[in-house]
Chain A
């Protein structure tokens, strides 16, 4: 099946720095990718929809300037957490659909990136 990778899997940074997380679709083209965040023992909250070649669509309450999303190619979307603070510490997960596959309902999730801001 289709594979989505994320890099890095784990990152620790100092407060005030920016962190970039990459999400790649390895064997299919993804015109749309999704970014979620998950707090410990909580569910996944959709942050934004990343659209290849255009601006991301953010969910209500998600700061656009805080979480910068770039989807410059059909296989790569990046999420940059700018001026990170301890409250941004979370598990970030991306996903994508393979619109070229017979079953476009299946969503493929990356393994997640654990961000810890000190």
Chain B
């Protein structure tokens, strides 16, 4: 079953702009992860944020987590055409050890 819901479902921006994607989930979690997937390819792990963390950075990526609202956001700054991909949040819940994926956001960065 799906855990997270993401918005927007699709996002089209110009190169150089920032892209923000949001994810909401339903249960208590140990951590939340963001992945990237290029069309027809496997998943690339981007960043993991634990339930006791509020913000995390990795290069041009910034992730926030609000456990009170059960939501997370992924910000990609100074986007590049190569950032064009689908982005998924995934939660690892406290009730088990499964990772459940959100619906994903398809990002298109125009050069």
- Give the B-binding residues of A (Cβ under 8 A): 32, 34, 36, 41-46, 49, 59-60, 91, 93, 95, 97, 105-112, 114
Contacts of A41 in B (CB 8 A): 106
- What residues of chain A lie closer than 8 Å to B102, measured between beta carbons? 43
Q: Are A111 and B2 in contact (CB under 8 A)?
A: no
The reply to whether B92 and A105 contact each other, CB–CB distance below 8 Å, is yes
Q: List 16 A-B contacts (CB under 8 A).
A: A41-B106, A43-B2, A43-B101, A44-B43, A44-B88, A45-B101, A46-B1, A46-B101, A60-B1, A95-B99, A97-B97, A105-B30, A105-B31, A105-B92, A106-B48, A109-B42
Q: In chain B, what residue has the closest Cβ to A4?
A: B42
Q: Are B104 and A43 in contact (CB under 8 A)?
A: yes
User: What DSSP secondary structure best describes chain B's contact surface?
Assistant: strand
Residues of chain A contacted by B97 (CB below 8 angstroms): 32, 97
B60, CB-defined interface residue at 8 Å: no
Contact B88 A43 (CB under 8 A): yes
Closest 9 CB pairs of A and B: A111-B42, A109-B43, A44-B101, A43-B101, A43-B104, A112-B42, A43-B103, A105-B31, A107-B99
Residue of A nearest to B45 (CB): A106
Q: Compute how far the CA of A46 lies from the CA of B101 in the bound complex, rounded to whole angstroms.
A: 8
B49 to chain A, nearest CB (A): 10
Q: How far is the CB of B69 from chain A (nearest CB, A)?
A: 21
Chain B 35-50 interface mask (CB, 8 Å, partner A; 1/0): 1000011110100101
The answer on a CB contact under 8 Å between B42 and A105 is: no
- Chain B residues 56-110 with CB under 8 Å of chain A are 88, 90, 92, 97-104, 106
